[in-house]
């Protein structure tokens, strides 16, 4: 009981770090979704150089450890371009967004492969442009199919986000470390942070399930 009480007392001390984690992961997810759609369009393009460029980017991002990508963007690129000090917050958003975009594009590519063949050609034959085909025909069908895997990738981004504490982002992990140094208690802040991560990832999964059911009802109706 004493341990549980100490954990409850510690949770409010971590909420500002939790807010930073939510902000970074939310923005990175939006960036990743936008990037994944662009990658998917590029891979279905008739231009060979565009297709190969998209494939190369996805392969690079999927094979590069996230911590290396973060260090390259935070330390390497600014030094190479003589940019001076850069925002660790936005580097975190960019790193997670680039990584997430590569993985999310594979999720969408797998989902679009499960759609009935010939829909793009039929839409184009009816006079719809490529943008309209994606917006009105493909994307509404992609979301229900891809949503569980998309939620899994968002959960992965959240679990990858503690690496940003290495570049001074005061996220949930970094904040738990600060509380540890203040209280000289290495156990309770970590347990409290782990519980908050569990709640956050669980909330994403529950929201995904609710949204999937709603989309399916809308399609059926």
Mean pLDDT (whole number) for 111-121: 69
Chain centroid offset of residue 200 CA:
13
Mean pLDDT (whole number) for 103-113: 84
Q: Give CA–CA dist 147/175, Å, rounded.
A: 31
Q: Which residues of 14-28 are buried (b: 16+ CB within 10 A; e: fewer)?
A: beebbebbbebbebb
Q: What is the pLDDT of residue 117?
A: 63
Q: What is the pLDDT of residue 43?
A: 86
Q: What is the pLDDT of residue 221?
A: 57
- Look at 127 and 179; give whichever has higher pLDDT: 179
Q: Give the pLDDT band of residue 81 (cuts 50, 70, 90).
A: confident
Q: Give the pLDDT band of residue 60 (cuts 50, 70, 90).
A: very high
Which residues are within 8 A (CB) of 202 and not within 5 positions of it... i.e. 6 or more apart?
none
Domain count, the chain: 1
Q: What angle do CA 198, 202, 203 make, to 5 degrees?
A: 120
- Look at 206 and 127; give whichever has higher pLDDT: 206
Q: Which residues of 142-170 are buried (b: 16+ CB within 10 A; e: fewer)?
A: bbbbbbebbbebbbbbbebbbbbbebebb
Q: What is the pLDDT of residue 169?
A: 95
Tell me the residue range of the domain where 195 lies.
2-220
Q: Which of 20-29, 39-48, 212-221 has the lowest mean pLDDT?
A: 212-221
Mean pLDDT (whole number) for 82-87: 86
CATH number of the domain that residue 172 is part of: 1.10.3720.10
Q: What mean pLDDT value characterizes the chain?
A: 87
């Amino acid at each position: 009981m004493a341990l549980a009480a100490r954990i409850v007392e510690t949770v409010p001390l971590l909420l500002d770090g939790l807010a930073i984690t939510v902000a970074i992961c939310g923005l990175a997810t939006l960036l990743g979704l936008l990037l994944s759609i662009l990658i998917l369009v590029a891979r279905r393009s008739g231009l060979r150089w565009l297709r190969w460029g998209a494939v190369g980017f996805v392969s690079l991002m999927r094979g590069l450890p996230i911590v290396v990508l973060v260090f390259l963007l935070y330390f390497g690129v600014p030094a190479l371009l003589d940019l001076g000090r850069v925002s660790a917050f936005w580097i975190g958003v960019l790193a997670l967004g680039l990584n997430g975009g590569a993985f999310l594009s594979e999720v969408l590519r797998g989902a679009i492969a499960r759609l009935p063949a010939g829909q793009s050609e039929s839409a184009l034959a009816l006079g719809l442009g490529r943008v309209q085909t994606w917006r009105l025909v493909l994307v509404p069908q992609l979301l229900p199919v891809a949503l569980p895997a998309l939620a899994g990738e968002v959960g992965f981004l959240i679990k990858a986000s503690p690496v940003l504490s290495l570049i001074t982002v005061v996220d949930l992990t970094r904040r738990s470390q600060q509380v540890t140094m203040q209280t000289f208690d290495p156990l309770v802040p970590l347990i409290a942070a782990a519980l908050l991560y569990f709640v956050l990832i669980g909330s994403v999964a529950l929201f995904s399930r609710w949204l999937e059911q709603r989309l399916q009802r809308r399609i059926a109706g």
